[in-house]
Structure 1
Amino acid sequence: MKNITVFNIILFILLIPVSLFAQSAQDSKSSHLNQLQQKFVDLRFGMFIHYNIPTYANADWPDPDASAQLFNPKKLDAGQWADAAKSANMTYGCLTTKHHSGFCIWDTKSTDYNVMNSPYGKDVVKQFTEAFRARGLKVMLYYSILDTHHKLRPNQITPKHIDMIKQQITELLTNYGKVEALIIDGWDAPWSRISYDDVPFEDIYTLIKTLQPDCLVMDLNGAKYPGEGLYYTDIKTYEMGAGQRMNKNNKPMPSLACLPINTSWFWKTDFPNVPVRSPREIVDSLITPLNKVSCNFILNVAPNRDGLIDENAITSLKEVGKIWKNNAAITHLPALPLPVISSNMAINQPANSSWSDDMNISDFANDDNYNTSWVSAKTIEKPWLEVDLKREKGINMLVVAEKENNVYEYVLECWNGREWKTVFRGLNRDRIKIHRFERLWTSKVRIRILKSVRQASIAEIQVFDERR
């Protein structure tokens, strides 16, 4: 009797569908990431430190061939930076390890263009991480994909560039202890023009998570993506100085917003004599309202050429600490799916649909532009939209992104060469509708819209084969 029972249990386990285990793994990853996202927004307020070779050129974008000999601080004191952050009740700091001009301020083996070959000759990243941790502050690092010195620019990217990026990120996440987040810049931005395919996002993201599973990945250039979707980042980011603002009516998302306390990111010769952002503005117009919408605020404070923060900024930060305290957690975030990190196979593929409204034809639904949409004609009762992948491909995720959020009941189908197979049928009121499933092979995908609040409208229908 015991043998039969054991046999039955084993048989039952063997018959459990593999998809259940896969789904469980996805749910576990989502839950873990959600916890990290909540911890991040609960940090509330931190210090951005733009300090690199641009500090010595009076420009945020200096000559990419500027000599390493320019980098020569006489009094660099990362402890002063950390004390200033502590005085403002900040909880973390983030240092520009490499900015767009490609100069590395750590002891890297990837290039000679680094701080060890400057007159200063000391590892600044090491000093920063040790000073901030010694004062109970968490450590984050900034890293630029765009690198004008090493010609890592649009239309010039080679496999050696990718190898250099991987080597540099590996050094940063191996040699300096726990890193809470890697803030990445110069990727998929209009001014950098380096796409997530030119430098494969999924490869870099996977590398980061392999090296430090709890390290959040933040891409500063996600402005083109909808506010309610996590595309190519673990945290939504807003560079407020570039006019990026969140829509407070959107679903709460874990977010980061940034501004400098001065008039620009890197130190300029007039900084000691130009008024800095006032403490009351920092608290009342930035930290407090942003925190209320699940957004962490990071204030940039730029050290000068001696490697010290100017007195006017030090004074302002002390005043911030007198009027603001980090004494409460931010409103609990809703459960969120894992971010989209793979290449979208639907972009600019042939698209067809039921009759469209005027000029808003099907091609607008996969043009990688979230400000354009396919719109169904008013007279169509059950509209549909289809994307032809041209040949059979393995896929395991479909995303429907809306601008107006009016489609709420629909069917998603994949063509297997003989018939349409349903991968989802039901209700979904999210603006960004993410559907993950076990990998299947298909040459076409289709959405059939059963119910919508107004005319059916889709900004992007997206097809992915993500790494799991």
Structure 2
Amino acid sequence: MKKSLLLLAGLLGCGIAKTQDIQPYGALPSAAQVAWNDLEYYMFIHFGPNTFTNKEWGHGDEDPKVFNPKHLDARQWARTAKLAGMKGIVITAKHHDGFCLWPSKYSTHTVRESAWKDGKGDVLAELSAACKEYGLKFGVYLSPWDRNHPAYGTAEYNQIFANTLNEVLSGYGPVFEQWFDGANGGNIKQPYDWKLFHSVVYRNQPNAIIFSDVGPGCRWVGNENGFAGTTNWSTLNVSGFTPGVGAPPTKSLNEGDEDGEKWIPAECDVSIRPGWFYSPDTDDKVKSVSDLLEIYYASVGRNGNLILNVPVDRDGLIHPNDSTRLMELRRVLDASFKTNLAKNALVTATNTRSGNPAVSIRNLTDGKNATYWAAADGKTEATFELSFRQPVTFNRLVLQEYIALGQRVKAFSVSVLENGRYKEVAKETTVGHKRILRLPDITTAKVKITILDAKAAPVINEIQLYKAPAVMATPVITRNAAGEVTINGVASPDVTVHYTTDGSVPGAKSPVYHHGQAIQLPQGGTVKARAFINNGATAGETVTAVFGVAPARWTVVGSDDKKAIDGNANTVYVADRNEIQVDLHETLHLSGFTYTPPASDDHGETISIYGYEFYVSNDGANWKKVSAGQFANIKNNPVPQTVNFAPTEAKFIRLVATSLTDEKGKFPAIAELGVFARKAGK
């Protein structure tokens, strides 16, 4: 045993000696952060009372007995994540409503008070055991905001939350990630003691990565679309910033800060559905494989990690629609990155560091994150050439830096040999842990990658080339103000699009959509479309769009601006007061309304509505309030909001903003306002 330990120590010492002449650059990752980056892709699970109440943000006043997932199976969650190629699961152990998925002794709003397992269940115990069984990492989200606990907003609450945190982090085995956000909403504000909270994490889980707007382990990417910036530094300036309202600017969150103070890489969070918690209303709105691929390449492919939310349903299971889509994505990713063509190339490089056998050019194509190539000190440019005996066809290029020594590359280009001359096919900025370029199919015998600029001598550990299979495009369904539906996004002559307007799933015998065709749907309804190839033998994903009454005849009272009712979510109406009134010009039988916020809240006055009241009227003078509430999380997740109310007849509608997503904002912005209705008397 002593001889083995001495041999191991000697090998480690030799490896350290070989890297001693490569000076680290800038802020550096910890060993735990390097290991975290290697995970790349894992699951988020939002689960709790909101699952049963159809809310995104519960108010903490729900009866805990509403939580009753009668067939809960955490092993099914873990098995699904494993089969999907994910490396771990982070679960909402406590969301803003304060409900605890374990029987906490610091709360009376827990699974102990629920109907599930007669109050004797523990979701965290079941999930941590399932993760261990399937070889997955286990992580937890605990929101410091608590809309149920009576001590929230008092001096004693921070210690209560710290005790709650300690309970979880000491009781369920290793935790790879502790997820915090800075949510501090409602009428009560609580000054959070982040130093105390972090001390609890590190005392119990010293290797846990802490997520927040300012880390310190990893950072929010600044949106809930799952997209990192095309330039993405893993370093961030954090002095003077805090999670939540005190967060760094969105641009810094999205792109990092070149030469930032701390190593805080980006984590890209996004849900597989429009919302974070399960809702039966979104069973047909699971993101397509094409959408998920876009997200993967914009997160993992841009030096970030992807945490994909897959909400558990009311039965306590991952819904078949979600799991099916995950398996479809796994098959595409496996096929895309199956064969590294670069392994068969003769690789040469300029400016290779001399006198250091640890930086062999062979390391660039060995598929190992622990090996690398390095340029000589003082050289911030380098060129790699991959030569093949016979031309190869590729459409994906992967670059990776050896991030343990810092992030260095500022700019690089890719060229291929064509007709005896090199032709540039891509020019990008940062690399970091991993950069994946999607390119058109390229056939060539030589590929040249040039590091154009770097912060210090480049240290690269991987160059890879792949030929990814084509993925059938997903139809895009839109409707204009006149009620004319068009289906686009599939232009290939080999693909046929079939559609239905009766809610059924399109088959090969359903009506064929012809390019430019206008499907008349002025009274609203459900349109489903699906692409087929091989004379209908192979089908793509079904896409669904639900429309209300077309707004062709509507007018905005007191304004000629029709951007809120023009059927185009890309145009934005900015009100000159905290409400909008619309004349429907006919009496309709209304049963609900839709509010589509602007795509982003980061453009001047495009401020979304958070709190709302909705009124109806028959004469435009006497109003009846039919709904009121909040569009929870709309600032970070600006997706269309649907509100149903008791059926009523009206000729006018009025949406009032009782609060906005930006307290300093002026007036609300509306991309689209619609209603679900039919003509009165029908």
CA distance in 1, matches of 2:46, 2:187: 19
CA distance in 1, matches of 2:289, 2:91: 22
Specify the alignment match of 1:183 in structure 2.
179
1:412-431 to 2 correspondences below 5 Å: none
Specify the alignment match of 2:425 in structure 1.
none
CA distance in 2, matches of 1:191, 1:65: 13
1:184-203 to 2 correspondences below 5 Å: 184-187=180-183, 198-203=191-196
The CA deviation string for residues 409-445 of structure 1, in whole angstroms up to 9 with x for no partner, is xxxxxxxxxxxxxxxxxxxx99xxxxxxxxxxxxxxx
Aligned equivalent of 1:307, options 296, 311, 316: 316
Specify the alignment match of 1:136 in structure 2.
135
Residues 1:100 and 1:186: Cα distance change in structure 2 (over 3 Å): farther
Residues 1:184 and 1:193: Cα distance change in structure 2 (over 3 Å): farther
Residues 1:206 and 1:57: Cα distance change in structure 2 (over 3 Å): same
Q: Radius of gyration: which is bigger? A: 2
SS in 2 for 1:317: helix
Q: Verify: 1:217 aligned to 2:210, yes or no.
A: yes
Q: Verify: 1:240 aligned to 2:204, yes or no.
A: no
Q: Does the 8 Å contact 1:182/1:216 carry over to 2?
A: yes
CA distance in 2, matches of 1:237, 1:111: 28
Aligned equivalent of 1:205, options 198, 201, 211: 198
Residues 1:190 and 1:97: Cα distance change in structure 2 (over 3 Å): closer
Q: Verify: 1:323 aligned to 2:305, yes or no.
A: no
CA distance in 1, matches of 2:268, 2:125: 26
Superposition deviation, residue 76 in structure 1 = 0.3
Aligned equivalent of 2:304, options 283, 295, 306: 295
Report which of the two has the higher share of helix. 1
Query: Structure 1: which amino acid aligns with 2:277?
Result: F
CA distance in 1, matches of 2:274, 2:300: 23
Q: Does the 8 Å contact 1:276/1:313 carry over to 2?
A: yes
Superposition deviation, residue 289 in structure 1 = 3.2
Residues 1:256 and 1:194: Cα distance change in structure 2 (over 3 Å): farther
Task: Give every structure 1 segment of 4 or more consecutive aligned residues whose post-TM-superposition deviation is greater than 6 Å.
Answer: 189-193
Specify the alignment match of 1:78 in structure 2.
74
Residues 1:193 and 1:67: Cα distance change in structure 2 (over 3 Å): closer
SS in 1 for 2:140: strand
Aligned equivalent of 2:269, options 249, 258, 266: 258
Q: Verify: 1:332 aligned to 2:402, yes or no.
A: yes
Higher relative contact order (CA 8 A, sep 6+): 1
Residues 1:193 and 1:202: Cα distance change in structure 2 (over 3 Å): farther
Q: Does the 8 Å contact 1:64/1:148 carry over to 2?
A: yes
Q: Does the 8 Å contact 1:34/1:336 carry over to 2?
A: no
Superposition deviation, residue 275 in structure 1 = 3.1
Q: Does the 8 Å contact 1:292/1:331 carry over to 2?
A: no
Report which of the two has the higher share of strand. 2
CA distance in 1, matches of 2:35, 2:84: 19
Superposition deviation, residue 38 in structure 1 = 1.4
Specify the alignment match of 2:285 in structure 1.
275
**Structure 1 spans left out of the alignment, 5+ residues:** 1-26, 223-230, 338-428, 431-468
The CA deviation string for residues 182-203 of structure 1, in whole angstroms up to 9 with x for no partner, is 001234x6889957xx111112
1:355-366 to 2 correspondences below 5 Å: none
Identity value in percent: 27
Specify the alignment match of 2:144 in structure 1.
145
Superposition deviation, residue 107 in structure 1 = 2.1
Specify the alignment match of 2:561 in structure 1.
none
Query: Structure 1: which amino acid aligns with 2:210?
Result: V
Query: Structure 2: which amino acid aligns with 1:127?
Result: E
Specify the alignment match of 2:32 in structure 1.
36
Q: Does the 8 Å contact 1:132/1:138 carry over to 2?
A: yes
Residues 1:64 and 1:205: Cα distance change in structure 2 (over 3 Å): same
1:28-177 to 2 correspondences below 5 Å: 34-120=30-116, 121=119, 122-151=121-150, 157-177=153-173
Superposition deviation, residue 238 in structure 1 = 2.1
Superposition deviation, residue 336 in structure 1 = 6.5
Superposition deviation, residue 286 in structure 1 = 1.5
Superposition deviation, residue 59 in structure 1 = 0.5
TM-score of the superposition, structure 1-length normalised? 0.58
CA distance in 2, matches of 1:104, 1:271: 25
Query: Structure 1: which amino acid aligns with 2:402?
Result: H
CA distance in 2, matches of 1:250, 1:236: 12
Superposition deviation, residue 293 in structure 1 = 2.6
SS in 2 for 1:60: coil
Superposition deviation, residue 112 in structure 1 = 1.6
Aligned residues: 291
CA distance in 2, matches of 1:308, 1:279: 21
Residues 1:331 and 1:291: Cα distance change in structure 2 (over 3 Å): farther
Query: Structure 1: which amino acid aligns with 2:273?
Result: N
CA distance in 2, matches of 1:233, 1:193: 26
Aligned alpha-carbon RMSD (Å): 2.8
CA distance in 2, matches of 1:264, 1:191: 20
The CA deviation string for residues 362-421 of structure 1, in whole angstroms up to 9 with x for no partner, is xxxxxxxxxxxxxxxxxxxxxxxxxxxxxxxxxxxxxxxxxxxxxxxxxxxxxxxxxxxx
Superposition deviation, residue 152 in structure 1 = 6.3
